[in-house]
Amino acid sequence: MVLDQIISIVISTGNFYAIWLILTLSLNYEYGYNGILNFGKVLFFGLGAFAAGYVAANLANLFAGMSVDMCSAQAVQLRLETAKTNPVFAVGSFLTALAAGSILAGLIGLLLTSSTARIKEGFILGIVLLAAGETSRIVVRNYEPIVCGYHGLVGIPNPFLFIGDAQTATYYLSALIWAVAAINFIIMFKVTRSPYGRMLKAMRENELAAESFGKNINKVRRQVLFIGSMMSGVAGVLYAYYIGFVAADDFTSLKTFDIWVAMLLGGVGNHVGAASGALLVTVLDRATRTLRGWLATLNIPIEMLYVRWVIVGILMLIVLMYRPGGLIPEGPIKTPAYRLFGFNGVRWGRWKRS
């Protein structure tokens, strides 16, 4: 009984971590490496989740040859039943959602960067993204045909429901989520430990100089935001399928800043750092939520959700005072070029202090 509970806590924490990891990695790619002030992470995360809900609901009707109101209890039943009996729908809707969510998020990211590309000040793009995030949330919240507006869409079916009971399906889905996160990590790590990563950092450090040395800043920036947004979209789809529910109000701008906190605590411009920051934030989030439940049953009047913000604030202060680059700050981009100089020549001690 207790073991079951521990397993389920570990699995849920692991899943939330995996999703959070993808988001933090993508922000680190955008801001940590390229210096893009993306204050609209939640927009792309949300777009993925909304796309997942929309696709699942509409494909269920299509497969069943019916047209029930997707927000009704009957539709929820229909989705879950169809997923149990029809593997093509279960897996197909998931894959369609994955494609739709990531491409939609990527394209919106591309559109927003292109529209602000002519303005060199990075914070303008940041504000545009922040506003776009809130706008999309409010639109989805008030326009029912997307994901049932205010109430949200219930019953996004686990794509592995046809294999066995809900428990087994969750295990399979968890394995999938972790695999996707791991692939994201490996790709990001490899992509940025290269001349490409060096170019991204150079653009971050000095736009004028990077452009004077032949780097096409606008093109690279669009590319970065396209891929970063796609990753966030994927995270959104996984999130929606994992919790089986999507509602607009889950995607407030506070989430954006949670992702920022994860990156800033962990290490800006260092994917291992970002991964550890994401772990810290996820564990803190899960722990306070679990504690909150226990405290409620014991009638202790402490609101852990706010305690969490206090802890985050204190952590931020401590890290910024003593390790301004994050827990694992950025180092040199160790391409094979360093082999000519001997790796030992790089003074790592110096990197930690600044």
Partner 1 sequence: MEEILVVENIVKTFSGLKAIDNVSLKIGKGGVYGIIGPNGSGKSTLFNVISGVLKPDSGRIYFMGERIDGLPPHEIYNKGIARSFQIPTLFLKMPVIENMLLPPKRQKGEILYHAPFQRSWESQELNLAEKAKNTLHDLKLINVYGNKASEVSGGQMKLLEVGRTMMAEPKLILLDEPTAGIAPNLAEEIFKIIKSLRDKYGLTFMIIEHRYDILFKHAEYIFLLNEGKLIAEGQPSKLLDSTILAQVYLGD
Tokens of 354: 């600044």
CB closer to partner 1, 151 vs 219: 219
CB closer to partner 1, 155 vs 326: 326
Tokens of 139: 């639109």
Question: Taking the complex as a whole, how short is the minimal distance between the CB of residue 227 and partner 1, in angstroms?
Answer: 8
Question: Taking the complex as a whole, how short is the minimal distance between the CB of residue 185 and partner 1, in angstroms?
Answer: 12
**Of residues 295, 313, 311, 315, the one with CA closest to residue 303:** 295
CB closer to partner 1, 301 vs 336: 336
CB closer to partner 1, 112 vs 224: 224
Length of the chain: 354
Question: Taking the complex as a whole, how short is the minimal distance between the CB of residue 211 and partner 1, in angstroms?
Answer: 5
Beta bridge partners, 154, equal 245
Residue-wise DSSP of 116-175: HTT---HHHHHHHHHHHHHHHHHHHHH-HHHH-GGG-EE-PPPTTTTTSSHHHHHHHHHH
The CA distance from 339 to 343, in Å, is 6
Query: Which residues are at the interface with partner 1 (CB under 8 A)?
Result: 187, 190-192, 194-199, 201-202, 205-206, 208-217, 223, 227, 330, 332-333, 335-341, 345-347, 350-351, 354
Token look-up 């094979």 returns 336
CB closer to partner 1, 192 vs 256: 192
Beta bridge partners, 245, equal 154
